[in-house]
Every structure is written in structure tokens, then in C-alpha cells.
Amino acid sequence: MTRFALKNRMSVIVLAVILFITGLMSFVGMRREAFPEIKIPYIFVTTVYPGANPPEIENLITQKIEDKLDGIDGVKKMTSSSNESYSNIFLEFDPSVNIEDALRRVKDKVDQAKGDLPDDAQDPITQELNFSTIPIVNISLYADYDIERLESIADNLKDKMAKISGVLESKVQGKQEKEIAIDADPSLLRQYGLTLHDIVSAIQGQHKNIPGGTMLTSGFRFSLKVTGELSSPDEFRELIVRADKQKMIRIKDVANINFTYTRDRQSISRTNGKPSLTLTVAKRTGEDIVRIADEVNRILRDESSGWPAGTHYEITYDMSKSIKHLVNELQNHILMGIILVLLVLSFFLGTRNSVFISTAIPFSMAIGFIVLTYMGITLNMVVLFSLVLALGMLVDDGIVVVENIFRHLQMGKNRWQASLDGTQEVMIPVFTATLTTVGAFAPVFFMPGIMGEFMRYLPLTVGITLTGSLFVAFIFNPVFASLTMNIADVHKMEGGNKNWFERFKNIYRNFLEFFLRHPLLLTVFCLLFIVSGIFMYSAFGPGVVFFPNTEPEVVSVEVEGPLSQNIDMTDSTLKIPEDVLLRLSDTIASIKNLNAIVGSGKSESFSGGSAESHKGYVDVVFKDFNERKVSSFKTMAWMENNLKDLAPGWKIRVVKQQDGPPTGKPIEYEISGEDYAQLSVIADSLKKMFETIPGITNVGHDYDPARPEIRIDVDREQAKQLGFSTIDVASAVRGAIYGSEAAKYRIGQDEYKIMVRLAPDIREDINGLNQIVVSKEGKEAPLPSVALISQGANIASIRHVAARRTIQVWGELAPGQKDEQQPKKIAAAMVAKMMVPPGYTVQPGSSNREQVETQQFIMKAFFIAMSIVFLIMVFQFNSLFQPFLILIGIFISVGGVFWGLFIVNKFNAFVNLITGGAANFQDVTFSIIFSGVGITALAGVVAKNGIVLIDFMNRLRRDGKDLKTAVIEGGATRLRPVLLTATTAMIGLLPLATGIGFDFAHMSIVTKSETTLMWAPMAWAIFWGLLFNTVLVLVVTPTYYYTWEKFRDWQRSRGKR
């Protein structure tokens, strides 16, 4: 391969240019996203059974369908909720399951259950839950004039946004819809012998345009249309409901007609305390977020110039902005890393040699971008971090290859022959060294669950780019060296005896010679180093978290009142914390916007479309990370201490927006059993215990207390005798109270419902229910004759997990709380001491179980990675002991990780102390996911050091050197490439680990980085693990190699005797 490249050098140069240009074009054309697009197969089954209460829904609907769905392959979790008049069943499949296949299997099972459902129940609806409908842009519109004028502007914007290529839908929230309300008087209806249905039929029969066909006359074809649609709300008053010989009865004779706002306002919206409308834009799956958001911004700029004075808008959420920021930040880290790597190589090897080696970075990344684009992978923060991680490792192969070419040049060979021989000589060790790194990352690709879908791009990207670096090292580097390398570069690299690096090598030889005589002392030191590192971090570090607890960009203040609370009362309560937040000083919070929504909660679960008039929230949107003067954690802590008690009788929670893939809450338990009353007692008891755990806040459960209700229990036998079904009774009640939509009233392109119902003074009075008449096919009966009307309360919702009644209890980390393992241990101890009645169970929630599963996988992945490395080394060295030496180095790197995190955190604390907190250096907490994956990756990264040392010591012994000389000179000769490969790998990670770098777009120095908050645990883990491994392995590997070979020589000499 190298020989062919050297014979066709011009072709290789042209290939390099084409590869670079193609890679650059691929990079520019890649879709940008903040996080990878994780496809989670969610399917839900909704069944409506009018008039049934939650226990009836549970017994007659939910359990029947659950019995059929039980046992479907690939189901990870099945949950359900039985609510008033409807059932929802959710199935979460394993991410590897094809969603179309899953949907087909679920539909088949649901069809089997239809025969077991009540006749009055509607057919179940089975569909996929599409997460693509989550908005990518939110725009708040507010004005100094009335909201009705603003609605026309919002509707116009909505129509323009919907036409953008790639937009799935555009919605306006916060609008109060208008309707033509026809409020009938029941006494007048009885007087004239009419029903609500008669009014509906009259409207449907007269408010209509009907095509009359075509007429051919005088040589022309005319279309005929009978125009019956009314053009004014007043015209509905004159519509005839019934005409007889005595009198024509019009709608105005039995009802009031008004063109007004709908009776039930569903939501209220405010931006920075002012009434507003919210426009949301959602994209289609696979579309480019940045392109769509740019088009949205263009439309806003163009349209706003023509708006009336006093019209304002705020882009309260723009996903593309965070994507651009994250991408630019990581791109800066990559460029900064390249510069630092180039400087280090230049310092050791000279400018020309460093350029040879550094070509691996752009060309390897170009190969990576081409392959990733071909695979349809987006440019997201995981891919970009992977490139940062691989940055320093990309030059490792080039360092070894180019240095060996130098060595052959020094032997007197010409450049062509030196390039060929030097590359071929190290091809196998370079290939195996890269293979160990790729192999160590490989287990991460098979991580289970949502976290696995999130992290799989890491080994994929690293594997592709490192494979590309092999191509560069074996093809491009030899060609470039054969064309431009000269003896002056060799002399500069090798230096003389007075060179500073030669003096450093002499010091190293002395250290190594000392430990060759004291291997036991070195063993004790290494064991103490590993154990003490784990102890120091455990005792004095900030703790352990599953996923990095990053500083939030948005914090929600949630308000929840009694069930069925009026939306106006909820609005008044939400204004209390909202007013406080509006007056916050800049010393407490760096707030950009406040967005209040009344009428819905910020729930993580799908609500099924039910109204939540008792809930509301204020989204506190902070300024951009670089502009933030006050940490959002500090502001969040202030909110926790000052907002929660402002509204007695109401729950006020301060909730952090989740970043990254869904990982669940730190503490989460499921209580399962049969009796809901007993379940609620256990849940309340557990909730009170969890509230005492230090560092935990927002403790709650999903049990809804009894919802006040007016029950209308149908006497099915009596109704049947009178010729009515349950659905007839339910339809009569719904038509009288909620109303029936008779038709649409059109003004231009706008449509409004025409709603027929009883008058407000009747329908909003419990005694008014007695005046409802059930009618069908000429038969009529007053409601009390077929149903019993009573007041009471009922369970608002019955939830199942795995077909069992279940209540979930949870707790979240308090603002600033770094460690989640200790609270988890306390919670587990509390649960273990609980006396749970027979037939009831308390177990960790599904999210916590997934966390444990992922944690166990990472432990397995680490040992699998070591096994892969060990196997590759056995193939290369044909020995069991020499690969074992590399495993020792891996364990040393683990101790280095914990020592490094301890050092970083103590250094950060010291800097914050002497600057009075102005530096605001964040703690770096050990993350089970990120730091764990970093340790797994170290198994391959640090193996290169051992491979380089052992391979050269073996070569010296084959050349006839005695054991001690081979060990000492082998270590000294390979000191430079070992230090260079380790240093370049570490220094490439520094910008991301520290957040300090240079913004090449704005030509300014950056002192903090938002991406660092998430990726620092992994970056620092690899940095410190590699640092301590390099320092110690340069002594440990030669010492144990020497000790083992000396022992074998002693055994052989003893056997001869």
C-alpha cells in the first residue's frame, strides 16, 4: 500500500486535495443539531368510553387491552392511565425495535381486544407518539393595543411559517377563540315542544351553500350554486326551527344568540408580565433546524416592519441559537486544539516535521465528515466532542511513522527508500496500537437504552477518524516525507549531547535504574496511588452523578392548585411569584425573559389532552451563558428559598430544564398494589421520609386526590326500557352543558364554531341538570328519569405500570447539590426499613433501574475493553505477560482519574476563594456516564504507551542487547514518542476541559464555555488518566518487564543445572 503510494506520488497529492475539499463540503452541508436525534419507539392506545368513571375505565377498558398487549416482544415498559371517560396505554419499546413493526403488532393485539370491550365504547385508536412536533422556535407577540388585533398578526405569521420547507406545523397559543353561542332556554324549548337537536338540525339545513350542477345555455356553460350560508350573526336569530299553521318558531324565540369568546378559556399567556400570544414552529423529522430557524427570523424581520406601532415580539426559544453556539464553541475547541498540538510538535520536532505529522488532523477529519455524511449523521455536540477527543490521538500514528522515517534517513538512505522502509517497519505496531484504541471504544457502541442511543456516536466518530489517521499515516505522510524531508530536519530533531532533551533522558535513565533495583517499592507505590486516589475523591470530592448536572438555561416555577380549580384563580396565584421575578435585581438573577402560561403544567408525561386549569408555570429564561453575571444555580437556589411559601394551599415548585437525553429523577420509586387508598398511604409516608433527605427537593408523587365531580349514574335498565342507551344519555348531557357544534360561520378565511347549548344560568347550576331532556327518534325523557344525579368525589386517574396499580414517588436534586449517590443511598435505606403490607411492593422506578443497568454495562464495558486490548496484544507479542503489563498501566490510569478530579476541584475551590467567587470555577463531578465512558476509553488510549515501549525493548533484545541495556535504552529512546503522543492527546482536550480558548469568529479570548459543563467530566478523566499513566508507565512497564525477564532467565539457568 505504501509502496504503491510512493510510486504514484502526484496521484496521492491530487487525492489529498480532493479528499480535503470533499470533506470540507461535507462539513458545511451537514445538518446541525444540539443533541443527536434519538428515536424512541413510543406507541399509545387511546379508548373513549363516554360517561365511565376511572374505576370503570380501568376494569372495562384498560385491563382488557393490557391483557392482550402483555408479552409483546421488545416492550421495555408499559404504563397506563384510566381517566374519566377515556383510557390511555403507553408502550415504550427498546430503541432497536423498528417502530413500524411495533405499531403493526400493537394494532393486531388491540384488534383482538375489541370483542371484550363494552358496546358503547368507541374503537381504540393506536398511534405513534411523534416527538418531532416539539417546537424548535417559540415567538411571543405582545402589543400596547387590544389582543384581538394582535391575533390577526399572529395568524398571518402562522400561515407564512407553515409554508417554510421542512416545517411540520405552526401554531398560535394563548388565543381566546370566538364562537357564535346559541344559548337555549329549556322552559321555552318545552313550551314549543323543541329540543336542542331541532335547533342544530335547523342550522345545518339552512346555513349551507349547495352546488346545483351546471347549465348549458346560449353557448356557455354556467355553474349553479344555491347560496344559503348566513353572512351575519344577527341572521341566525331569524332562522326558522319549526313552522306550522299557527306560527313560525325562530331561534330567537327560544335562545339568545351572541358572537362572543368561548365560554371556557383554555390558556392564558404572558411575556414579561404583558398579555401575549405564543407562536410555535415545529419541524419535520430529519429537517435542518438551523435553516428553518433562519427562515423564521427572516420572515419576522420582513413582516415586523409593516406592523402597527406598539407591536412587539420576543423570540423566547430558538433551538438553532443553542445549536450554533454549541457548534461554534466546539469548532473553536477543535481549532485551538490543532494550534496547541502544532505548537507542541514544533517545539519538539521543528516546524516542517510537525507539519508532516499534523496533516493527519485535517485529512482524518475530512474522511470522518465524508463517512458521517454518507451515513446520514448530523453534526451534533456528541460528534463534535468525539472529534475534540480524537484530535490529539490523530497525530499519534504520524509521530511514530515520521520519526521512524527520520531514523532511516539518518542511516544514509534516500528519501524514497527511507519513507518506504520506515513506514513498513512500524506498520504492524502502529496498526495494532490504533486497533486497541478503537477496540476500547467499541463496547460503548452497544450501551443499552436511550443513553446508548445518545452515546453511540462517540465510538462511531472516534473509530472513523482514527481509521482515517491510519490511512494518512501509511499513505500521505510517507509521500510528503519523500518529497520534502531533508537531513537538516533530522539533525534538529535528534539534537546533540548538550540538547536539553538529552539531559532529561539521562535523568530518566537514573530514575529507571533505581526502580529496576527496587521493584517491590514501585509496586507498593502504585497500589497506594490507585487506592488513595479513589479514597481522596470519595472523601473530599463533590460526589457522583449519573449525568452531568449542568447549569440550566431555563428554570420553570410551577404552580399547582386543587383539582378543577378555575383558571382565573390559577392565573391570580401564578401572578404572585411572577411579580416577584419581574422585580428581581441583577445581583440575584441574569434574566432575559419571563414567559407565563396558565392552563397547563410542565409535565414530563403525556397528559392525553386533558385540561389542567389548576396548573400554570413561569419559564425563567436566563441570559446567554457568556453574558450571565449570576449563575443560574444561584438564582434557582434563591427561588427555592423565597417563592415556595408565597401562596398557602398551592404547590410551588422550582424545576430545572433537563438537558441531554431523558435520564429520570435521581430518586424515583414505584409503589404497586391493589387498593388505591392503601397505595396513597404508603406514598404519603414515603414522600414525608424523602423530604427529610439533605440535598433533595421537589419531592412528590403522581397520586391525584379525589376530584370533585357531579355524578350522573345511568340506570341502564330504565334507560333501555325507554329506548335509550348510555351514550344517548351522555350525548344529551354533553349537548346541554358543553354544547353541539352545528356548523361553521365564516368571515373571509376565518372559521368560527356555531355552538348550541343551554343558557349559562341553567348549565352552570347543578339544579339545571334536572331540565335536561334525553331524546331519540321522537322519544323524550327528562334526565332524572334515566339517571341519578349526585355530588361527590372520585379518583382523578388510576395509573398502571406493567398492568399493576402504581403510584410513583420522586425527588430531585436541590440547586447546587453535586452528589446524587448519597441521597440515593439514604432513600434506599429508608425504603428497606419500611413495613409494607403483604401484596404491595416498593421498588426503584424504571428510570432508576435503567441507570443501574447502564452503570453495570459501563463496568462490563471497561473489562470488555481491557479484554479486547489484551487479546490484540497477545496476537502482537505472542506473550501473556507482556500484554499483562499494559493492563497494569490501565489500572494506574484509573487511580490517575480520581486523583486528577480531586486536584482540579481543590484548585477550583482555591481560585474561587482567593477571588471571592468572582472566578466562578465550577466543580467537576464524577459522572457515571461521561467519566465512566472516559475510563473505558482510557483502556485503549493508554495502551499505546505500553505498546511503543515493549515493542522497542523486544526489538533491542532481538538485536543482541543485554536485558538491562535493552530496558533502559529502550525506555530512553522511546521517551520522546511516548511523551509526544500523550502530550498531544492531553493538550487537544485542554480547551474543552477548562473552557478557556479563543473565539475565532469574533477574534476574542474565551474564559468560560457552556459545553465544558457537560463534557468536562469525560475530558478531565481522559486527561488526568493519561497524564499519570504516562508518567508512571515510563517506569512501571520497563521495571516489571525487566523483573519478569530476569526471573525467567533465572528459571532457565536453574533448569539447566
- How do residues 141-193 score in pLDDT, each as one tens digit? 988 887 778 888 988 899 999 999 888 888 887 777 788 999 999 999 888 88
Q: Are 801 and 846 in contact (CB under 8 A)?
A: yes
Share of the chain above pLDDT 70, in %: 94
Q: What number of CA atoms fall less than 13 Å from residue 157's CA on the CB side?
A: 32
Share of the chain above pLDDT 90, in %: 14
Residue 1000 has pLDDT above 90, yes or no: no
Confidence of residue 632 (pLDDT cuts 50, 70, 90): confident
Residue 490 has pLDDT above 50, yes or no: no
CATH 3.30.70.1430 at 551-658, yes or no: yes
Among candidate residues 684, 670, 634, the one with its CA nearest the CA of residue 654: 634
Residue 532 has pLDDT above 90, yes or no: yes
pLDDT score recorded for residue 606: 43
Mean pLDDT of 118-136: 77
Segment among 312-321, 445-454, 532-541, 649-658 with least mean pLDDT: 445-454
Mean pLDDT of 51-73: 87
Query: Which whole-number Å values give the CA distances from 815 to 632, 694, 992, in the listed order?
Result: 9, 12, 24
Say which residue, 13 or 919, is predicted with more confidence: 13
pLDDT score recorded for residue 84: 78
pLDDT score recorded for residue 177: 79
Architecture of domain 498-540+845-1057: Up-down Bundle (1.20)
Q: How high is the mean pLDDT of the chain?
A: 84
pLDDT score recorded for residue 131: 56
Confidence of residue 486 (pLDDT cuts 50, 70, 90): low
Q: Is 498-540+845-1057 the same fold as 133-177+265-321?
A: no
pLDDT score recorded for residue 685: 92
Query: Which whole-number Å values give the CA distances from 1029 to 147, 884, 944, in the listed order?
Result: 66, 15, 11
Mean pLDDT of 252-260: 90
pLDDT score recorded for residue 493: 45
Among candidate residues 977, 10, 965, the one with its CA nearest the CA of residue 405: 977
Segment among 128-137, 547-556, 666-675, 838-847 with least mean pLDDT: 128-137
- What is the rounded (10 degree) CA torsion for 177, 182, 186, 191? 180
Q: For the purposes of burial, counting CB atoms within 10 Å of the CB of 919, is it exposed (0-12), middle (13-18) or buried (19 or more)?
A: middle
* Domain ranges within the chain, ordered by starting residue: 1-30+350-435+455-494, 42-129, 133-177+265-321, 178-261+708-794, 498-540+845-1057, 551-658, 672-702+797-844
Confidence of residue 61 (pLDDT cuts 50, 70, 90): very high
Q: At what angle do helices 943-958 and 963-973 cross, to 10 degrees?
A: 130
Which residues have CB under 8 Å from 312's CB, separation 6+? 141, 142, 143
pLDDT score recorded for residue 495: 47
pLDDT score recorded for residue 688: 92
Residue 227 has pLDDT above 90, yes or no: no
- Give CATH for domain 42-129: 3.30.70.1430
pLDDT tens for each residue of 1023-1055:
999 899 888 888 888 999 888 888 887 777 776
Residue 640 has pLDDT above 70, yes or no: yes
Fold designation for 178-261+708-794? 3.30.2090
Segment among 489-493, 558-562, 945-949 with least mean pLDDT: 489-493
Mean pLDDT of 857-872: 87
Mean pLDDT of 934-938: 85
pLDDT score recorded for residue 608: 42
Q: Are 151 and 275 in contact (CB under 8 A)?
A: no
What is the C-alpha separation between 662 and 891, in angstroms, rounded? 32
What is the C-alpha separation between 729 and 773, in angstroms, rounded? 9
DSSP 900: H
Among candidate residues 655, 668, 574, the one with its CA nearest the CA of residue 614: 574
* The C-alpha cell that represents 989 in the structure block: 482536550
Confidence of residue 603 (pLDDT cuts 50, 70, 90): low
Whole-prediction pTM: 0.77
Q: Are 387 and 334 in contact (CB under 8 A)?
A: yes
What is the C-alpha separation between 181 and 410, in angstroms, rounded? 96
Confidence of residue 525 (pLDDT cuts 50, 70, 90): very high
- CATH class assigned to 133-177+265-321: alpha beta
Residue 810 has pLDDT above 80, yes or no: yes
pLDDT score recorded for residue 704: 74
Fold designation for 1-30+350-435+455-494? Multidrug efflux transporter AcrB transmembrane fold (1.20.1640)
Segment among 240-249, 507-516, 638-647, 886-895 with least mean pLDDT: 240-249
Q: Are 796 and 615 in contact (CB under 8 A)?
A: no
Say which residue, 602 or 253, is predicted with more confidence: 253
pLDDT score recorded for residue 51: 67
Residue 413 has pLDDT above 60, yes or no: yes
Confidence of residue 686 (pLDDT cuts 50, 70, 90): very high
pLDDT score recorded for residue 714: 87
Mean pLDDT of 361-385: 85
Taken in order 592, 597, 602, 605, the sign of the CA dihedral is negative
- What is the rounded (10 degree) CA torsion for 829, 834, 839, 844? -30
Say which residue, 876 or 788, is predicted with more confidence: 788
What is the C-alpha separation between 529 and 1028, in angstroms, rounded? 10
Mean pLDDT of 990-1015: 78
**3-state class of 571 per DSSP?**
helix
Neighbours of 222 (CB within 10 A): 12
Residue 579 has pLDDT above 90, yes or no: yes
Confidence of residue 491 (pLDDT cuts 50, 70, 90): very low
Which residues have CB under 8 Å from 957's CB, separation 6+? 963, 966
pLDDT score recorded for residue 96: 77
- What is the rounded (10 degree) CA torsion for 448, 454, 459, 461? 150
pLDDT score recorded for residue 814: 83
Segment among 490-504, 721-735, 929-943, 1000-1014 with least mean pLDDT: 490-504
pLDDT score recorded for residue 132: 54
